[in-house]
């Protein structure tokens, strides 16, 4: 099985995703929040690339049971029901609900996977479950890191490496065929995998989240294998 990793959404051309099992990773915080919402019983998540699209969709759906969630600059969007902190997405709030969701990096990476390409929503919270699912799928894999504003992010790359390590374990003795970026991701996971919360606190995005008051989110996002759920993004919907 071949695994290719993309540290930024733009570096993944359409051809590199087609026919692959795709993992989408944005652990600070979009994919962590989506995994949490699904684990806590939300009905579906409808990722939107822009605020405009999110608000228009809310207008069209117009019914109760639909929440608007997301961030810009890490902060809750005015008028939205929820921000992008996974700690807000409790069972009491999200059970049975549809959530229209827009974030700076993660939902764009997800929407980047386009119609016809489905993606697994991966965070540290479900990385082993996701690795087992992707190993069982048997197809070549693409690991798509959201990064940060079009640039490499350490935390997503570490999660990519942990995912690949676990895929290798699940498939052993069959060896994985890794590209340059996948091997770099594994090296980052070897370096930081044993101290994930500390790693998150010492990244460009982690420092920013600390500065705007989300230290508790970093503790939450750094938890390994809290959940078994692996939400799937397909045809514009995470479920």
Nearer to a copy of itself, 5 or 103 (CB): 5
18 belongs to the binding site for a copy of itself (CB under 8 A): no
Joined tokens for residue 132: 């087992």
Site string for a copy of itself, 104-143 (x = CB under 8 A): ----------------------------------------
- Give the burial class of 67: count Cβ atoms within 10 A of its Cβ; 0-12 exposed, 13-18 middle, 19 or more buried: buried
With vertex at residue 194, the alpha carbon angle to CA 10 and CA 163, rounded to the nearest 5 degrees, is 40
| 8 A C-beta contact, residue 206 and residue 155 | yes
Q: Which of 152, 193, 210, 225 binds a copy of itself (CB under 8 A)?
A: 152
CA separation for the pair 219, 227 (Å, rounded): 15
- Give the burial class of 118: count Cβ atoms within 10 A of its Cβ; 0-12 exposed, 13-18 middle, 19 or more buried: middle
Q: What are phi and psi of 4, to 5 degrees?
A: -120, 135
Stretch binding a copy of itself (CB under 8 A), from 58-66, 122-130, 131-139, 197-205: 197-205
- CB atoms under 10 Å from CB of 31, counted, come to 35
Residue 147 CB, nearest approach to a copy of itself (Å)? 8
Q: Which of 1, 5, 36, 70 binds a copy of itself (CB under 8 A)?
A: 5
| 8 A C-beta contact, residue 141 and residue 122 | no
Residue 152 CB, nearest approach to a copy of itself (Å)? 4
157 belongs to the binding site for a copy of itself (CB under 8 A): yes
154 belongs to the binding site for a copy of itself (CB under 8 A): yes
Contacts to a copy of itself by CB under 8 A:
5-8, 10-11, 13, 147-148, 150-155, 157, 179-181, 183-184, 187-188, 191, 203-205
């Amino acid at each position: 099985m071949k695994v290719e990793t993309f540290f930024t959404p733009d570096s993944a051309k359409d051809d590199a995703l087609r026919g692959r099992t795709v993992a989408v990773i944005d652990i600070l915080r979009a994919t962590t929040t989506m995994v949490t919402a699904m684990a806590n019983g939300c009905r579906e998540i409808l990722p939107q690339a822009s605020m405009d699209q999110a608000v228009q969709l809310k207008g069209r759906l117009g019914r109760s049971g639909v929440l608007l969630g997301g961030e810009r600059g890490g902060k809750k969007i005015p008028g939205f029901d929820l921000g992008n902190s996974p700690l807000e997405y409790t069972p009491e709030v999200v059970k049975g609900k549809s959530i229209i969701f827009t974030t700076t990096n993660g939902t764009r990476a997800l929407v980047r996977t386009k119609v016809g390409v489905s993606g697994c929503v991966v965070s540290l919270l479900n990385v082993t479950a996701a690795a087992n699912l992707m190993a069982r799928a048997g197809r070549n894999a693409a690991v798509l890191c959201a990064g940060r504003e079009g640039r490499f992010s350490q935390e997503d790359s570490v999660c990519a490496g942990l995912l690949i390590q676990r895929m290798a374990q699940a498939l052993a003795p069959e060896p994985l065929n890794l590209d340059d970026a996948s091997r770099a991701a594994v090296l980052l996971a070897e370096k930081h995998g044993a101290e994930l919360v500390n790693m998150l606190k010492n990244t460009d995005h982690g420092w920013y989240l600390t500065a705007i008051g989300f230290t508790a989110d970093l503790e939450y996002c750094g938890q390994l294998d809290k959940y078994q759920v692996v939400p799937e993004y397909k045809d514009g919907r995470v479920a």
